[in-house]
Chain A
Amino acid sequence: MASRLFVRRRDGRIEVKINAVGRAILKEAFVNVLKAEQDPSHQWHVSLNGPIDPSQDADNPLAMFSRQNEISTNAELAGVTVEDNFLNDAEGWAWLTTLQVALRSTVQSYGILDDEKWASAAAEVRGYVENLQQLLFELADVL
């Protein structure tokens, strides 16, 4: 039986059992989300700025600022805890949301918007996406 990547301990903490390769994947994802939020030329930037109300030409600036601030805060918290062996719930939530943003931004930047595009995606992209999916699935299981 394969060992689990995240384990909920009796004291409430989430134990992270990820090796150096997995940590590097996480770190890259967290850093990219933070960069994408701050840099309009980053290929993920568009996916972080989807419409809130598509019927309007422009969304409420306060809501947009709130979104930008929360995404950055989560990515920063995930980034500073990426080497930790134990997480609390807030840190676990920051990891989950930042990883999910990274996953969706990755597939959006490669134009993978439906099952057909997913089936025909390059093996390298599929491998990266499947790594993120596994991390997300196992983290969600302990939150």
Chain B
Amino acid sequence: MPSVKPQKISSTDTSLLVEERVRTEKTWNVLVWNDPVTPMKVVEVIFKKIFGYSNNKCTQLMLQVHHEGKSIVWSGARDRAESYCVKLQVAGLIATIEQV
């Protein structure tokens, strides 16, 4: 069995460890739209289950949907925005995505 000598890496040599990335992706918003019949409590529970937000944040977002007609509930990369939008739609809310 050949012996394998561990390769020494200098503590100052960080060029291999640091990933340099140029971020070119644009941000996408997930929007939830108001409807006249969904109970407020249900909207809060769905936000908590899908995003794991605090009770206060869920209430704030729900009230924004109720009073302003819509709310941005999440922002970030497109693929994640699409996944969250699908989860909200599966839960019966009116949700869409938009590019910022």
Contacts and interface: CB of A to CB of B under 8 A. Distances in A.
Interface of A: 50-55, 60, 63, 66-67, 70-71, 74, 93, 96-104, 107, 112-115, 117-118, 129, 133, 136-137, 140-141, 143
Contact of A53 (B39, B41, B83, B96): B96
A107 B86 CA distance: 20
Contacts of A140: 39, 41-42, 44-45
A100 B91 contact: yes
B90 interface: yes
A103 B35 CA distance: 11
Instruction: Give the contact-size bracket for chain B.
Output: 20 to 34
A92 B96 CA distance: 25
A100 B36 contact: no
A111 B47 CA distance: 26
Contact of B96 (A54, A93, A107, A115): A54
Contacts, number: 92
Secondary structure type dominating chain A contacts: helix
Contact of B39 (A74, A114, A118, A133): A133
24 contacts: A52-B86, A53-B96, A53-B97, A55-B98, A66-B83, A70-B86, A96-B45, A99-B92, A100-B42, A100-B46, A100-B91, A102-B92, A103-B37, A103-B92, A104-B37, A104-B38, A107-B37, A115-B36, A117-B36, A129-B37, A133-B39, A136-B38, A136-B39, A143-B49
Contacts of B83: 63, 66
Interface of B: 35-39, 41-42, 44-46, 49, 82-83, 85-87, 89-94, 96-99
Contact of B42 (A60, A96, A102, A118): A96
A52 B82 contact: yes
A86 to B, nearest CB: 19
A50 B89 CA distance: 8
Nearest to B30: A52
A126 to B, nearest CB: 10
B93 A100 contact: yes
Nearest to A62: B82
